[in-house]
Amino acid sequence: MKKHVLLYKKLSPVLMDRLQQQAEVTLIDELNAEGLQALRQALPRAQGLLGASLRLDAELLDLAPQLQAVASVSVGVDNYDIDYLTRRGILLSNTPDVLTETTADTGFALILATARRVVELANMVRAGQWQRTIGPLHFGSDVHGKTLGIIGMGRIGEALAQRGHCGFGMPVLYHSTRPKPAVEQRFNARYCSLEQLLQEADFVCLTLPLTDQTQGLIGRRELALMRPESIFINISRGKVVDEAALIEALQERRIRGAGLDVFEREPLAPDSRLLQLPQVVATPHMGSATHETREAMARCAVDNLLAALAGKRPPNLVNAQAWTGQPG
């Protein structure tokens, strides 16, 4: 008897075919009001869920009494009530590793775009305002040789350190839950306190998960430790930062600029004050958004889900405490 899977993120034909061979699949095309209603109506029959960018809380999952596994097409798991899932014995999996390099590329794209004012100057050319050789008014700042500060030394933080050290000759500072000697050896990185990193780094980059401990980590006090020529980069989660305090620091030119791929509320409101600041490069949470990487993530999520529904431990299990080793 095929198990029932509720899909709230479209899969490629190849992956959809693979899933349908082994499960009865219901697809929610779009997470608009109609789609959410259809999802709620389908939850009572679902043994498996696969998707991303939807808050799965107790209120919603109480509608799914048969649920055995949730496969997130993401590395971040802040959209999930992990304690609730574990209490119910529901296996949550995610897709680490496959998106590491692509997301670190995005981080470096924001470092370069913000430091060299790429978006601002490209828009000037597109608007036909390039009338003469550009001068100091349009100069950006160097990246090579500057100090790269990384807050959160996980897979993505390490990949960012590699880019900075190997590619741009940047001294690397990092702050993390604990020192990582291997990273220090590979990239000549130096572990330091959050305060020291904020004071010394030319680029302050957030690459850490959103948890109860990291929410609001970067607020007014922390931003005040940064230097006027330093640049703030966020490719983690918007809620790690007090966005109003960041806007103030930018408006008062207490920091030079910001490259942001994530925001407190997404999509970012068109009237956000961030979008009125030319020294801000804002991108639409595109960290892992390449054809290759999103297909690899979806493939990883399908592998995780099919393993869980077959009573096997998913390769990327998030809540190990929920694993009893008994077939579902």
Q: Give the span between the Cα atoms of 122 and 327, in whole angstroms.
A: 56
Q: Give the span between the Cα atoms of 60 and 204, in whole angstroms.
A: 37
> The sheet that has 257-260: what strands, in order across it?
189-191, 172-175, 148-151, 203-206, 231-234, 257-260, 280-282
Residue 210 touches ligand 8YV, criterion: CB under 6 A: no
Residue 98 touches ligand 8YV, criterion: CB under 6 A: no
Task: Tell me the two tokens of residue 57.
Answer: 């809380």
Backbone φ and ψ for 18, nearest 5 degrees, come out as: -65, -45
Task: Tell me the two tokens of residue 245.
Answer: 């305090």
- In this structure, the strands spanning 203-206 and 189-191 are unpaired
Residue among 4, 165, 175, 237 flagged as catalytic: 237
- The piece of 41-49, 127-135, 162-170, 282-290 that touches ligand 8YV (CB under 6 A) is 282-290
Residue 214 touches ligand 8YV, criterion: CB under 6 A: no
Q: CA torsion sign, 41 to 42 to 47 to 52?
A: negative
Residue nearest to ligand 8YV (CB): 76
Q: Which is nearer to ligand 8YV, 230 or 288 (CB)?
A: 288
Q: Which is nearer to ligand 8YV, 151 or 201 (CB)?
A: 151
Q: Which is nearer to ligand 8YV, 219 or 284 (CB)?
A: 284
Q: How far is the CB of 141 from ligand 8YV (least distance, A)?
A: 28
Residue among 163, 256, 285, 299 flagged as catalytic: 285
**Which of the residues 35 through 54 are near ligand 8YV (CB under 6 A)?**
52-53
Kindly tell me which residue out of 7, 50, 75, 317 binds ligand 8YV, with binding defined by CB under 6 A. Answer: 75
Q: Residue 71: in which H helix or E strand, if any?
A: strand 69-72
Residue 237 a catalytic site member: yes
Residue 56 touches ligand 8YV, criterion: CB under 6 A: no
Residue 74 touches ligand 8YV, criterion: CB under 6 A: yes
Q: Which is nearer to ligand 8YV, 15 or 189 (CB)?
A: 15
Taking CA atoms, 143 is separated from 94, 102, 107, 169, 239, in Å, by 33, 20, 13, 9, 27
Note the residues at the interface with ligand 8YV (CB under 6 A).
52-53, 73-76, 99, 285, 287-288, 297
List the catalytic residues: 237, 266, 285
